[in-house]
Each structure stands twice: as C-alpha cells, then as structure tokens.
Amino acid sequence: MKRILVVDGDTGVRARIAKHARMEGYDVTEAGDGETALSLSRQQNAFDLMVLAVNLPGMDGFTVLKAVRTFSAIPVLILSSKNTAEDRIHGLELGADDYISKAFGSMELVSRVRARLRSATHEEAVTSGIR
C-alpha cells in the first residue's frame, strides 16, 4: 500500500484530500503545519508521495519543499491558491513534481497522485535495472 503525506493548514481541505486518497486505497498521514510535515518526512522511507500546500502556519510549503529536497527525492505535489506562472515556476524550480491550483477537483488530484506514483515506480524500476 502506497503511503501519502497530506500537508495543509486548512483542516477541511486536508480532510477532503485524505478521504479521497483513502478511498483509492492509499495509507494517508495528515499534517497541519510545515514543521510537522518536515519532521514526518525525515522518517526513512515513511512516504511514497507528499501533497504539500504552500500556505501553512509557521514554515510555508516552499520552505518545507526546499528542506525536503536536501535529503529526499520523494514526489511532491504542490497545492496553492497562488496560481501565477511565477509561483508555479518557483515551486517546480524548488523541486516540486507537480503544481495544482487550490481550485482543484478531488478526482483530478487523485489522478495526479496516481500518475506521480506510477512515474516514481517506473523510475525506480529503470534505476534498479528492471525494465
């Protein structure tokens, strides 16, 4: 079972994402702030993917992403109400694998999660010599 860390300061948004991910069969852990997300992501092989909001209490999502990239290549999907080209580029340049506007549909998000996990599984197989 794939493990997903869902990080959002908005309890309702976080719960909705977690609910849909669990319905798809994922094991979901939730975090409501950047410090908790960073601490959880430091656990070795704890998660297969992170859904990370930009606007978080304390440490923002971009700061979390930058820190995570110093020790992990976990796929990260950024969620943000900031939807300018500059914001999307900034998130992707920091190492995000995808950037989704907070005006997202649950099915779109789940589809993007599946795609990222498929991609990560394929990359692992190629890296380990399995084709």
* pLDDT tens readout for residues 73-105: 999 999 998 878 898 999 999 999 999 988 777
State the CB neighbour count (10 A cutoff) for residue 17. 26
Read off the DSSP letter of residue 59. S
Q: How far apart are the first and last CA of the chain?
A: 22
pLDDT in tens, 32-75: 999 999 999 998 788 999 999 999 999 999 999 999 999 999 99
What sign results for the dihedral spanned by CA atoms 23, 31, 107, 103? positive
Q: Which two tokens stand for residue 25?
A: 């069969």
